[in-house]
Amino acid sequence: MSVLVGLATLAAGALVSSTPSPSASADPSCPDVEVVFARGSGEPPGVGGIGGSFVNALRSQIGSRSLGVYAVNYPASTDFSNPNFPQTVVDGIRDASSHVEATAKNCPNTREVLGGYSQGAALAGYVTSAAVPAGVPASAVPPPMPADVANHVAAVTLFGTPSGDFLQKYHAPPLAIGPLYQPKTLELCAQGDPICGSGGGDGFAAHTSYGVNGMTSQAADFASSHL
C-alpha cells in the first residue's frame, strides 16, 4: 500500500532545488499537454492502471491537442519495513519535481497535469508543497519548487491519497497542497477506501476501484477544464 514510512526524516528532501525561470521559446517537440503521474505501491513501472485510465480519459477530451505522458521514476515499493523505503519516496518526489521544473523551463507552452495514485498521490502532493513539512529540519532539505512553476501546472489530480491519520500512523509528515496549487487540485476518495477515508465497506477493493468507478473520468473532466 502507499505507506510513507519514516518520511518525516526524509520526504521533504525531494522538494527539489530551484531551477532557472522558464525560457521564452518552446521546443517544437513539446506536447500541448503533459501528464506527470506517479503510480501506486506494487504497480509495475509506468503510470499504473489508475494512471493509464486517467490518461486515456483525458486524451479523449483534449481534441487535436498533443498529449505527452511522463511516469515518475521511483520504485513504488511495498517493502515498507525496509529502512531504505523512505528514500525511495524521496527519490520519486525529486524526480517528479525535477521533471515538472525542466518542462516549465524547456516547454513553457506545455500545460502540465500532475497526478498520482495511493503512494503516488502522496508523492505528487508533496511535490506541490510550499514549505518544508512540519517536523522536518529545513536545513536538511532543499526548498520547494519556484513559485513561477505553478503557472505551468494546469491541474493536480490525486486518487486515494493517504489521509492525515494514515500518514501519522506511519510517522510521515503532514501533507499540505501548496496554496498556488489548491484551486486547481482535485482529490478523489472512493467510498469505503480505508487509505484516504474512514474505511469499512469494500476496504482494499474500494482502494483499487478508481479505474472502474468513474473517478478517472471525473478527474479528466476537471483537468481538461483547467487547461
Task: List, for residues 81-122, the tens digit of each pLDDT value.
Answer: 888 888 888 889 889 999 999 999 999 999 999 999 999 999
Greater confidence (200 vs 196) lies with 196
Mean pLDDT, the chain, as a whole number? 86
Q: Is residue 120 part of a domain?
A: yes
Range of the domain at 197: 7-225
Q: Which three cell numbers stand for residue 120?
A: 503516488
Tell me, yes or no, if 207 is annotated catalytic: yes
> Average pLDDT for residues 41-50, to the nearest whole number?
97
Report the C-alpha gap between 19 and 146 in whole angstroms. Answer: 8
Contact by Cβ (8 Å): 155, 205:
no
Q: Is 193 a catalytic residue?
A: yes
Q: Which distant-in-sequence residues (6+ apart) come within 8 Å of 102 by Cβ?
A: 19
- For residue 1, is it within any domain? no
| 98 part of the active site | no
Task: State the virtual CA torsion across 96, 100, 106, 110 in degrees, nearest 10.
Answer: 130
Q: Which of 53, 97, 118, 163 is catalytic?
A: 118
**Structural domains of the chain, count:** 1
Out of 41, 193, 209, 224, the active site residue is: 193
Judge whether residue 186 has pLDDT over 80: yes
17 within domain boundaries: yes
Does 2 fall in a domain?
A: no
Domain CATH number, residue 135: 3.40.50.1820
Q: Which of 95, 207, 209, 224 is catalytic?
A: 207
- The residue that leads in pLDDT, 59 or 17, is 59
